[in-house]
Amino acid sequence: MAGEEQKKRKHTALHNSAVILLGTLLTVIIVLCIFIACEIRSMQSQIIVLQQEVISLGEQVAAEEKKQQAELVVENEKIQGAAEADSEEQASLDVDFLENQLELDYIEQDGGTWDENTGIRRVYLTFDDGPSTYTNEILDILNEYGVKATFFVVGKEGYTEEYQRIVEEGHTLGMHSFSHKYQEMYQSLDSYKEDLTKLHEFLYETTGVDSRIVRFPGGSSNKTSKVDMQELISYLTEENIVYYDWNVSSGDASNVYVSAQQIANNVLNNVWKYDSVIVLMHDSSAKYATVQALPTIIEKILESENTVLLPISEDTVPIQHIKAECQ
Ligand SMILES: [Zn+2]
C-alpha cells in the first residue's frame, strides 16, 4: 500500500513538474509571439514611414523638375526676345554701317583739321542708338573715370531709369530719332518733324530735359533720306536745334564682328588728327565690344597731354558733314 502511495505521489510530482514546465514553455512562447508581433508591427510602421518619405521625395523631385522646366521656358523666351530685339537693332545698325563707311571715306579725303594754335584738344565721346542693356555699364565706366559724354538716344519704353541716369550723372542727352526707322522718318519733312517732336516730348516728359542737339541717323550726309537734307537742316535751324556729326568713327556699327581692340584702335589712331574730336560710338545690346573697348579709349585719351574729354554743350563747335546752304 505504502509503495503504491509512494508511486502515486511520485507520479503526481512528475505530473506537476511537467505541467510547470509546459506552463513555462507556453509562457515563453506567448511572450516570444507577442515580441515578434510587436517587432513586425514596428517594422511595418517603419516601412510605411519610409514609403511615405520615398513618395514625398519623388514629389519633391518632380516639383523641382517642373520648376526647372518652367525656368528654362522663361529663359528661352527671354533669349528669344533679346534675339528678336537684337536682329531689329542689327538691321538699323547695318544701315548705319554702310553710311558710316561712306562718311569715313569723306573724312579721310577731307583731311585733318588740327589747329596747333589752340593748344587744347577737345574730345567728345558720343553714343548713338541707346538706351540699351549696356547703358548702365557704359555709365558705370564713365563714372569710374570721372568722364562726361553725350548720348544721342532713341525712343524706347522700359528704360526710364537709364534716360534719367544719363541726365543725373551730368552727361548730355541728345536726340537721335524716336523710331530710328530710316524708311519712315526720312520719308518727308513732315515725317521727320513728327519723329523728332515725338522724341523731344518723350525725353522732356521722362527727364525734364529740353534737348536742343541732334544727330541725324546716318549723319547729315546720309544717302537714305528721301527728303533733301537741307530742308531738314532749315527746320532744325528754325527750331534752334543744332546737329552734330562726327569726325572719328569707332567702327563699332560694322555688320561683321569688330573686336574691342579694333574699336579702340579705330578711335586712338585718329583722335590725334584734330583739335576738336567727336567720336561716334554705339550704345547697343548688339555691341558689347564697345563697352569692352571703352576703358582703354578713356585711359589713353586721359593720359595724353593737353587733351580733355567733354560732353557736348551749347558752346561746342559742331562737326557737320554737310553745312546749311546760305539762304
Ligand atoms: Zn543710329
How high is the pLDDT of residue 60?
57
> What is the whole-number distance in angstroms between the Cα of residue 181 and the centre of ligand 1?
9
Question: Cβ(148)–Cβ(171) under 8 Å?
Answer: yes
3-state DSSP helix/strand/coil % of the chain, to nearest 5: 60, 10, 30
Q: Which three cell numbers stand for residue 165?
A: 541716369
Q: Where are the beta strands (DSSP E) in 86-185?
A: 121-128, 150-154, 172-177
Question: Cβ(217)–Cβ(253) under 8 Å?
Answer: no
How high is the pLDDT of residue 120?
92
Q: Which three cell numbers stand for residue 85?
A: 530685339
* Alpha carbon distances (Å) from 155 to 198, 317, 325: 8, 26, 30
> What is the whole-number distance in angstroms between the Cα of residue 115 and the centre of ligand 1?
29
> What is the whole-number distance in angstroms between the Cα of residue 147 and the centre of ligand 1?
22
How high is the pLDDT of residue 54?
46
DSSP state of 72: H
Residues flanking ion ligand 1, Cβ below 5 Å:
96, 128-129, 217
- Tell me the pTM: 0.68
> What is the whole-number distance in angstroms between the Cα of residue 152 and the centre of ligand 1?
8
**In terms of DSSP H, where are the helices of 111-188?**
135-145, 160-168, 182-185
> What is the whole-number distance in angstroms between the Cα of residue 43 and the centre of ligand 1?
75
- Whether a cis peptide bond, with omega within 30° of 0, leads into 318 is no
> What is the whole-number distance in angstroms between the Cα of residue 129 and the centre of ligand 1?
5
Identify the structural domains of the chain with CATH numbers, from first to last: 97-309 (3.20.20.370)
Look-up of cell digits 533733301: 228
Q: How far apart are CA 99 and CA 212, in angstroms?
A: 24
Query: For residue 173, which of 149, 197, 196, 191 has the smallest C-alpha distance?
Result: 149
Length of the chain: 327
What angle (nearest 5°) sits at the alpha carbon of residue 316, between those of residues 314 and 317?
A: 120
pLDDT tens across the length of the chain (327 residues): 555 676 666 666 666 776 667 767 776 666 564 555 546 565 665 645 445 554 455 555 455 555 555 454 444 444 443 444 444 454 454 445 544 444 444 444 344 444 555 689 999 999 999 999 999 999 999 999 999 999 999 999 999 999 999 999 999 999 999 999 999 999 999 999 999 999 999 999 999 999 999 999 999 999 999 999 999 999 999 999 999 999 999 999 987 889 999 999 999 999 999 999 999 999 999 999 999 999 999 999 999 999 999 999 988 999 999 998 865
Residue 147's Cβ-side half-sphere holds a number of Cα atoms within 13 Å equal to: 25
